[in-house]
Structure 1
Amino acid sequence: MTNAAMPTPARAFEMLLSGNRRFASGTPQHPNQDAARRAQTAPGQRPFAVLFGCSDSRLAAEIIFDRGLGDLFVVRTSGHVVGWEVLGSIEYGVGVLGCPLVVVLGHDTCWTVAAAQTGVDEGTITETGYVREVIERVMPSVLAARAAGLSSDRDVIAEHVRHTVDLLLERSPVLAAHLAAGRTAIVGMTYLLQGGTTHLVTARGLPADAAAAPSP
């Protein structure tokens, strides 16, 4: 992407989906991972998507989306919890680097979300320090899921992804402005660890046909 025009939000989303299909099917191409790409991107970066996901070691963005150097601007925290560092990083990706797509990526069997569910259901959190604070910041998503009658792991994870998308747009006027102007889309997705597939939860700023693209 260094010398090419940025893709549209819909095209950027399709590039991610295509890469995940390759990864999930066991036919990755490992693009942009050679010495030539390293030299090409050394002077500057033009990633086509911001990926905000959980820090889980099994959620390595460039691997599961079969991308390479300079393709993704990656921000990760436990349970994709939002703080000012996250907001600033995403605003940099959108406002400075011009990324046409922001992805919030959750996953099944997320320990942080499971701990937040325990905190809500049993009224207690055994963890201490900053781990406790991270868990507490996921609990509003669990409360919203419970209020909607959702209890399965997959449904709660999806609700947390939706809540995170809403939170980003609520707290970042830069992201909200780029979305309103059609320069950037934001999608929420979940990832299944066993199958390696991603699944769309929510989409803002994508054409209906792009948002309806089938999962791998």
Structure 2
Amino acid sequence: MGGNRRFVEDKSIRPRQGRSTLIGSEKGQKPFAIIVGCSDSRVPNEIVFDQGVGDLFIVRTAGQVMAAASYGSIEYALAVLGSKLVVVMGHQACGAVDAAIKRPDVPGHIVTLVNSIKPAAQKAKAMGGNLLENAIRQNVIDQVMELRDLDPILSKKYQKGDILIVGAVYQLSTGKVEFLPETLSNLPDFRASSK
């Protein structure tokens, strides 16, 4: 959150981004957080959070749609690399969510992305306000809940308080990341030093 504040205020410090850090990274990585985000090229995670090489483990798909490879990547970062925080991050003006609302004919495997987001789009139609913004938020909330219930690794670690899984939305227009209150309430007691 501090890194995003620096980014929004145009005071980024760009930590651990030099050549020496890159060369030294061959010895391993210990990312403290996992960002499950959209593939959208306008959402550069390390820049948005003002983090350096090795700080964040990034899993990206259009609409941050979950799949077996996403699950395995997240589990690897938690179980092997020791990450303690999972942030599912959607973003303003997401094309994948917009497609799930509009349901256009899409070619090839793109339909799997749209179909994965349709439940959130349907829920958003019952809400007041901006349909796309509501669907983006709902998509993040649904994905957070999906990860919290995912067996065998995530659900156990989350319930024991070994990890946190929360949701956020990045605003393209301001650069601000808003953590969603719906994903911050009723969290388990977090034990940052647990294994």
TM-score by length of 2: 0.89
CA deviations 1:75-100 (Å, max 9, x no partner) are 00000000000000000111111101
Contact 2:127/2:134 (CA < 8 Å) preserved in 1?
no
Q: In the aligned structure 1, how far is the partner of 2:94 from the partner of 2:154? A: 26
Residues 110-189 of structure 1: pairs in structure 2 closer than 5 A: 110-119=94-103, 125-148=104-127, 151-189=130-168
User: Would the alpha carbon gap of residues 170 and 182 (structure 1) be closer, same or farther in structure 2, given more than 3 Å must change?
Assistant: closer
CA deviations 1:18-51 (Å, max 9, x no partner) are 1111111111100010133223322110000011
Q: Which residue of 2 aligns with 1:75?
A: 59
Equivalent position SS for 2:141: helix
Contact 2:158/2:188 (CA < 8 Å) preserved in 1?
no
Contact 2:5/2:176 (CA < 8 Å) preserved in 1?
yes
Amino acid at match of 2:67: G
Amino acid at match of 2:82: G
- Point out where structure 2 has 5 or more consecutive residues left out of the alignment: 191-195
CA deviations 1:91-137 (Å, max 9, x no partner) are 01111111010000000110010010112xxxxx3211111221111
Contact 1:53/1:104 (CA < 8 Å) preserved in 2?
yes
Equivalent position SS for 1:23: helix
Q: Which residue of 1 aligns with 2:18?
A: 34
Contact 1:184/1:205 (CA < 8 Å) preserved in 2?
no
In the alignment, structure 1 residue 50 sits paired with structure 2 residue 34:
yes
Deviation at 1:179, TM superposition (A): 1.1
Contact 1:116/1:142 (CA < 8 Å) preserved in 2?
yes
Q: In the aligned structure 2, how far is the partner of 1:151 from the partner of 1:142? A: 12
CA deviations 1:64-83 (Å, max 9, x no partner) are 11111100000000000000
User: Would the alpha carbon gap of residues 52 and 172 (structure 1) be closer, same or farther in structure 2, given more than 3 Å must change?
Assistant: farther
Equivalent position SS for 1:193: coil
- Point out where structure 1 has 5 or more consecutive residues left out of the alignment: 1-16, 120-124, 209-216
Q: Which residue of 1 aligns with 2:193?
A: none
Equivalent position SS for 1:69: coil
Equivalent of residue 187 in structure 2, options 196, 205, 208: 205
Deviation at 1:146, TM superposition (A): 2.3
Query: How many residues end up aligned between the 2 structures?
Result: 187
Equivalent position SS for 2:27: coil
TM-score by length of 1: 0.81
Contact 1:91/1:172 (CA < 8 Å) preserved in 2?
no
Contact 1:87/1:172 (CA < 8 Å) preserved in 2?
no
Percent identical among aligned pairs is: 37
Equivalent position SS for 1:140: helix
User: Would the alpha carbon gap of residues 96 and 205 (structure 1) be closer, same or farther in structure 2, given more than 3 Å must change?
Assistant: farther
Structure 1 stretch 58-67 or stretch 150-159: which is displaced more? Answer: 150-159
Q: In the aligned structure 2, how far is the partner of 1:179 from the partner of 1:54? A: 23
Amino acid at match of 2:187: G
